[in-house]
Structure formats: structure tokens, C-alpha cells
Amino acid sequence: MAAGEVEAPHGAALRAALLDAAPETVRSRVADLVSRAVGQMPAADLPAPVRPIARFAPAKRAKVGSAPLLSALGSADGFAEDVVAWWREHRPEEWDPPVAEPVHAAAVAVLAGDGDTAGELLRDAGERADVGRLRAERDAALARAERLTAEVERVTAERDAARAEVGTAGPDLTDEVVKLRSRLREQGVRVRQAELSAAEADRRLEEGQGHLVRELDDLRRERTRDQEAVAAAEARARRATAELESARRAAHEARRADDARLALLVDTVAGAAAGLRHELGLRADDQRVGPRPAELVGSASRAPMARVTDPAALDRLLALPEVHLLVDGYNVTKTGWPALALAAQRDRLVAAVAPLAARTHAETTLVFDGAGISGVPTASVRGVRVLFSEPGVIADDLIRTLVDAEPEGRPLVVVTSDRAVVDSVRRRGAHPVPSSVLLERLARI
């Protein structure tokens, strides 16, 4: 697999794959980033193989502990995320500088687990590493060529000296001259080989540079296409918004026209009904013919009511016309949800009782002690009236006051398990219901 070409796993496996594909420069930079973080992180947050390395000196951690640190990134879930979190919290300017050099940017992408970005950066880093290696090979070849050239010059000098010695020494030096010529030929061959190697390194360097230029051109064209697509999408969104606004205006105007026609129809029907009422001699709407049915229930006396003991009986009471349901709030909530805070108890009771009130159409009032409560609304909350007793007045007395305020004959249901409240409201003609019965009924909704 070429540098930067990886599959698409997730988590620790993704980082292991990215590290396998990364060139050595990127792996070294990742090890340096991890080693600087583990020295400052709590030992309890580190994987077991990394804890001994965290005690090393900073320079030694990156050099000696590189292999265990990189292995932990690819095997310990959560370790890389902890390292990234430490860098972003303590060294954000080093972690994500405004202009990051390619190796650092690739190391950050690998450590952050950003597969797409890391793949592109690793390909770039791999190509740069290849180019650097080719340059190093070329420089080494040129250095060898220079050394060989110096050797040739030295051998040539030796040859010239030998020739001079031959001229003076005579035939005895002929063999030595032959040897020197042989060495000179060998050095010439080595020089030519070095020159050929340098030429090949130059050629490979030019090919790498051309590949980088083509990649850059492709990236620029792709960015231009993305920008054009975004602009087209924004234009479509603007057109859709304009069409939606036009549709809304048209619907609003149509609704206004329908409302005007409906109002005219209602006025016509109301006029006809008024004329018919006048013609038939009927009473006006605000003139009641007699007492309401609920006002006649039990109007003879307020005899003590029997205590309700099951949800079915409670449902029968709540089905009575004009029934009023009074709930001793904290008596119910401390029976059903004693572990919650008082505010949470109140909210839960209101949320639980609201569907029951909506279903039965019973007037529903929740009464709470007002001690220590400030700024709490007393208006209807989701169809349920919430009342708090005044300072110095307990909720029990407020419940008795509400019962006394109702007209005789109106069905009253008081939910409480307080014996004193049960006895007093029963004598006043209300139906007492234990808190447990209401909680059982609410549990069925």
C-alpha cells in the first residue's frame, strides 16, 4: 500500500491503519505529540503499557517510548481522544497553529482520527518524503562523484608523479605504472557510475515535482467545482425561500378572505336566530331558566361523604357534571416521588394530572404550601390551576377554604391522605380520596 492509502475503519483501528500508512517523519511527530501529553495527564487516564513511559524524562519519552505510545493509539479505545482533548485544552496554539507545516498537520489529523484529511495529508507527506529521499540520494551521489573526482585527481597526480619517477627510475617502474593506470581506469568507471546515479536522481526528482504539480491542479479544480455547487445550492435555497414566502402570503390572504366570508355567514345566522327568538318569545341567552343541574345535587344537606378507595370510584366521581377536583399537592408527591426535589415533584404532578383533567373536563386545582416559594405562577398551567398558600397559612387550611367557597350541591373531590383534612372536608360534603388512589389512576394514563 502506498503512503497515505488506507481503508476506512473507525476509532483505534482507524488510527492504527493511518499509522501503518504514515511515513516515518509523521510517525515520529505523532509520538512526540503523544509523549508531551502523557507526561501531563493523570496516570489513571493512561493505558497500562503507557504509564511507565509517562515517568520518563520528556526527551526520553518520545525517543525510547515511541513504539509503545503508537501501539496504544491503535489498540486502546479512548486514549487518542484523551490526548487530543489535552492538547486542545492546554496547547491549542501549538495543536492547531494558523500555518501548520505539512508533517505536523498530518500528525494532528492521524491523532484526531480524521480519516479523509489524514489520507490526503499522508499522501502529501509520503510524496514529500519520497522527494526528500530522492534529493538525499542525488546529493549523496553528487558527493560520491566529488569524492571520486578528488580521487581521480589524486590518482592522476600520483600517476604524474609516477611518470616522473619512471622517467628517472627507468624500466623498473613499468609494472607500477601499469597498476596505476588500472586503478585510474577503475576510478573512471566509478565516476561514470556516480554521474549516471546523479542523473537518475535528478530525473526522479523532476517526476515527483511534476506529480505534485498535477495533484495541486486537481485539488484546485475540485475546489472550484465545490464552490460552484455551493453557489448553485444557495441560489436554489433562496428561490425555495421566496416561493415559500409567496405561498404563505397567498395562504394568509385566502384565510383572511375565508374568515371574512365566515364572519358574514355567522352574522347572517345570528340575525336570523335573534329574529326567530323574538318571534317565538324565547328568553335571552343570559336569562337562566332555573338552577344548573350540578347545583341541585345533594342540595338538601351536606351529609358526610364516604371515602373513595379505588380508581374506578374516582372515575365515577370525576364523571359527575361540574365536578371540582382538589389535590393536596405535597401529600401526593411525597407519597409517589419522595426522592425528587420539591420543584421537580410539583412539575411531575402537574404533568401527570393535566391529561386526566383534559380527559374528564373536571375543574382541577393543585394546592401546595407556599412557605419559601417566590415568583411561582398561580394561573392555569396546562389546564390545571396551581395555588400556593399565603405566608403563615398551610395548604390544609387553603383546601378547607376552597371547599367552603363552593356552592352546596356541587360535587367536590379532595385528594389527600391527611386524616385531619379528610375528616374536615368529609363533614363539609366533599368526597375524600387517598393519595395512593390518585397515583394508581395516574399510572394508567
> d(Cα 416, Cα 332) in Å, to the nearest integer?
7
3 state DSSP class of 327: strand
Tens digits of per-residue pLDDT, 28-73?
Answer: 888 888 888 888 888 887 888 888 888 888 778 877 777 888 787 7
399 touches 421 (CB < 8 A): yes
3 state DSSP class of 369: coil
Q: What is the mean pLDDT of the chain?
A: 80
Nearest to 133 by CA among 214, 204, 32: 204
Place 105 in a pLDDT band, splitting at 50, 70 and 90.
confident
Tell me, what's the pLDDT at 374? 58
Tell me, what's the pLDDT at 260? 63
Q: What's the distance, CA 231 to chain centroid? A: 28
Tens digits of per-residue pLDDT, 320-346?
Answer: 999 999 999 999 999 999 999 999 999
> d(Cα 44, Cα 42) in Å, to the nearest integer?
5
Tens digits of per-residue pLDDT, 388-422?
Answer: 999 889 999 999 999 999 988 899 999 999 999 99
Tell me, what's the pLDDT at 436? 95
3 state DSSP class of 380: strand
Listed as own residue / partner, the contacts of 56-63 with beta carbons closer than 8 Å and 24 or more positions apart are 61/35, 61/36, 62/28, 62/31, 62/32, 62/35, 62/36
Tens digits of per-residue pLDDT, 265-311?
Answer: 665 566 556 656 665 655 444 444 444 433 333 333 444 566 688 99
- Percentage of residues of the chain with pLDDT beyond 70: 79
Q: What's the distance, CA 302 to chain centroid? A: 62
For the four alpha carbons of 365, 366, 369 and 373, in that order, the dihedral sign comes to negative
Tens digits of per-residue pLDDT, 127-186?
Answer: 666 666 677 777 787 888 788 888 888 888 888 887 777 667 666 667 777 888 888 888
Tens digits of per-residue pLDDT, 346-370?
Answer: 999 999 999 999 999 999 999 999 8
Tell me, what's the pLDDT at 96? 76
Tell me, what's the pLDDT at 129? 66
> d(Cα 332, Cα 343) in Å, to the nearest integer?
14
Q: Read off φ and ψ for residue 287, nearest 5 degrees.
A: -105, 105
In the DSSP assignment, the letter for residue 63 is H
392 touches 381 (CB < 8 A): no
48 touches 72 (CB < 8 A): no
Following CA atoms 263, 264, 269, 273 in sequence, which dihedral angle do they give, to the nearest 10 degrees? 90
> d(Cα 218, Cα 130) in Å, to the nearest integer?
20
Tell me, what's the pLDDT at 7? 42
Tell me, what's the pLDDT at 274? 63
Domain boundary assignment for the chain: 11-113, 305-443
Tell me, what's the pLDDT at 331? 96
Q: Averaged over 259-267, what is the pLDDT?
A: 61
The answer to whether residue 205 scores a pLDDT higher than 70 is: yes
> CB within 8 A of 49, min separation 6: which ones?
68, 71, 72
Second-level CATH architecture of 305-443: 3-Layer(aba) Sandwich (3.40)
3 state DSSP class of 386: strand
